[in-house]
Structure 1
Amino acid sequence: MDATPGRPSNQELMLEEILSDALNQPVSGEVANYIPALAMVNPNHCGIAIATLDGEVHTAGDADIPFSIQSVSKIFGLVLAMGRMGDDLWHRVHMEPSGHAFNSIVQLEWEHGIPRNPFINAGAIVVADTLTSHYSASKAAMVNFVRSLANKDDIHINQDVYQSEKIHGNRNAALAYLMKSFANIESEVEDVLDHYFFQCSIEMSCRNLARSLGFLANRGMQPGTGDQICTRRDAHRVNAILSTSGMYDQSGEFAFTVGLPAKSGVGGGIVAVVPNYGVICAWSPRLNQFGNSCLGMSMITRLAEKLGLSVY
């Protein structure tokens, strides 16, 4: 698709209007509280950014405030794992929608320790296992990868979130040990979980997240640098799984109403990929019952409608 003809002359003004409309909506949703450090975030933050393939970045609101990217980090982990594992990865994690909660244990038991897709927690833990197995320092590899994509050296993890994740990560530990019992975890479970909690604790702003994922909108090539981050086929595959499974149990509705590959995180961030155009990132910490940002959903939906960005 080519979204350029629908581009308005003043994108900042358009984003400010979308942000204002979102902030005027009745307050709904709750900040994630099952990780205590996330519950401390100001629930009234709200920001949005568009990073286009020509190198422009347009923002409104709190688009430069870093936040815990949580499950959005699963994209970075998946791309690294695909580069190292190739097609062998898909023997250990599948690419189907789950139809269950993102941290479901029951489904994993039924399906003999093979997660449905890499964007539910069990699938991301398998991906983390491949990274700990194939990198001597997987956490450093992850954060350096993110920094290089964003062209930003001062991206770090939030230590409070990291420690909170480790203390309160019992359900993720249960998933990992169950998969270990089915021989689908190779490294030590503690090392795998440490990597997983680390990547979820990375802090980025809307601006930097949108810039970092430009390669998914550009057939695997990072705009500005020309670096081939992944193959065209792998970019297609990541976007396909984002379309079917990136928004938890709201993925079908998001595809129906917005029509873009997207990934959310319980830190309140949402990224949406617009092929041949760029990447949108919205952030607001209040979540709906599916774990997706209420105002983030609203802003991206409105933007996609105004610019006619659906890939369908």
Structure 2
Amino acid sequence: MSQSLDEIKSALQRAIERAEQTKERGKVAAYIPELAKADPQKAGIAVTLANGETISAGDCNQQTTIQSVSKVFTLALALGTVGDRLWSRVGREPSGSAFDSILQLEHENGVPRNPFVNAGAIVVTDSILTSYQPKEALAQIVSFVRALAEDETIHIDKAVAMSETQTGHRNRALAHYLASHGNLRDEVDLTLGVYFHQCALSMSCVQLSRAGRFLAFGGGLGPQNGQMVSAKRAKRIAAIMLTCGHYDGSGDFAYRVGVPAKSGVSGMILAVVPHIASIAVWSPGLNKHGNSLIGTQMLEQVVNELDWSIF
């Protein structure tokens, strides 16, 4: 790494200062009542380096649910559970459609385009359930994320999970359509119960950046720490993050920012700079693709300023 800690700290602070001055904040995900309460003026960023040191700025310690960023962790678990058999049930191609599109699922006979659209993530969760009961599966997901972040305080926000359960009609439609094509092995309500709860994992930018280290450092938590997943698996997950991590805005994100990343409708984004750092940003206001508007701007500024693009 060519940058000093002071240079990284300064870059993060400048990104936060610019975010604070930006008037256009995007729109919060009001279709989930608990997320509608978020303050779009909030913004945080955290970077975790190979030695485990975390540098942060702004509202970096505020807890929020990670929503679809959880799909990165469940994909890692599912590949560890069922291996490449997973790819017979879900594709690896960019969607070009909204994350909750049922039209695309219909056109492709119940096989989701990739594991990061909602239908694909539901299949991934269902594949984990083949080895566990729902409570056990959820416990495995939480334990995995806690181990990655080395933080036992990470938990599920039950109020958000309940809010998603009560309003997740489109996800139910996707799950039933998957089931109609034989691409859901467990009962719809059981799979969705785990899915809604995994999306309600509550973390701060600091915690998320630490949990994302395994993707930046070949499946481990840095040179001196143990291996969490194989280097091959970490590399392939990062590849899908680059091509599919921002739904139908993935191409624009890769063009502007140039690192693998996964977004969530809470305004969280987890980004990976291979061999250098993992980055988490948060700002609740979303752009038209459902990705954090300010978060994307902060990542673009920091990655470009520190010359961290993979291209």
- TM-score tier after normalising by the smaller chain length: over 0.9
SS at match of 1:184: coil
Query: Cα offset for 1:273?
Result: 0.2
Runs of 4+ in 1 over 2 A off after TM superposition: 6-14, 223-227
Query: 2:36 aligned to 30, 36, 39, which one?
Result: 39
CA distance in 2, matches of 1:152, 1:281: 16
Mapped partners of 1:42, 1:253: distance in 2? 26
Q: Indicate the percent of aligned positions where both proteins have the same amino acid.
A: 45
The one-letter amino acid paired with 1:111 is E
Alpha-carbon distance, 1:9 to partner: 3.2
What is the match of residue 51 of structure 1?
48
2: CA distance between counterparts of 1:225 and 1:74? 27
TM-score normalized by structure 1? Answer: 0.97
Structure 1 position 230, deviation (Å): 1.4
Please give the alpha-carbon distance, in whole angstroms, between the structure 2 residues aligned to 1:121 and 1:141.
20
Does residue 1:126 correspond to 2:146, yes or no? no
**Matches of 2:34 and 2:259 in 1, distance apart?**
30
TM-score, normalization by structure 2: 0.97
- 1:86 and 2:80 aligned: no
State the shift of 1:14 in Å: 2.5
Q: 1:310 & 1:168 partners in 2: Cα distance?
A: 38
Q: What residue number does 2:96 align with?
A: 99
Between the two proteins, the alignment pairs up a number of residues equal to 309
Q: Secondary structure at the match of 1:93?
A: coil
Closer/same/farther in 2, CA of residues 188 and 210 from structure 1, 3 Å limit? same
Change (3 A) 1:126 1:156: same
The reply on whether 1:168 has 2:192 as its aligned counterpart is: no
Matched letter for residue 189 of structure 1 = V
Aligned to 1:20: 17
Q: Secondary structure at the match of 1:59?
A: strand
What is the Cα-based RMSD across aligned positions, in Å? Answer: 1.2
Letter in 2 for 1:108: L
Q: Any conservation in 2 of the 1:269–1:296 contact (CA below 8 Å)?
A: yes
Match of 1:307 in 2: 306
Distance in 2 of aligned mates of 1:241 and 1:250: 14
- DSSP-derived class of the 1:134 partner: coil
**Correspondence for 1:112 among 109, 112, 117:** 109
- Which letter maps to 1:83? G
Q: Distance in 2 between matches of 1:162 and 1:71?
A: 13
Aligned equivalents of 2:220, 2:150: Cα separation in 1: 14
2:221 corresponds to 1:222: yes
C-alpha distance in 1 between matches for 2:239 and 2:223: 24
Paired with 1:165 and 1:225, the residues of 2 have a C-alpha distance of 39
Distance (Å, rounded) in 2 between the aligned partners of 1:222 and 1:134: 26
Secondary structure of 2:30 counterpart: coil
The aligned amino acid for 1:179 is L
Cα contact 2:25–2:40 (8 A) shared by 1? no
Q: Is 2:239 the counterpart of 1:240?
A: yes
Q: In structure 2, the residue corresponding to 1:30 is in which secondary structure?
A: coil
Query: How far has the Cα of 1:226 moved from its partner?
Result: 2.2
Distance between the aligned counterparts of 1:99 and 1:173, measured in 2? 21
What SS is found at the alignment partner of 2:270? Answer: strand
For the residues of structure 2 that align with 1:273 and 1:124, how far apart are their CA atoms?
20
2:65 partner letter: S
Please state how far the C-alpha of 1:7 moved relative to its aligned partner. Answer: 4.3
- Range that drifts further, 119-128 or 150-159: 150-159
How many angstroms apart in 1 are the aligned matches of 2:128 and 2:60? 30
Partner residue in 2 for 1:295 = 294
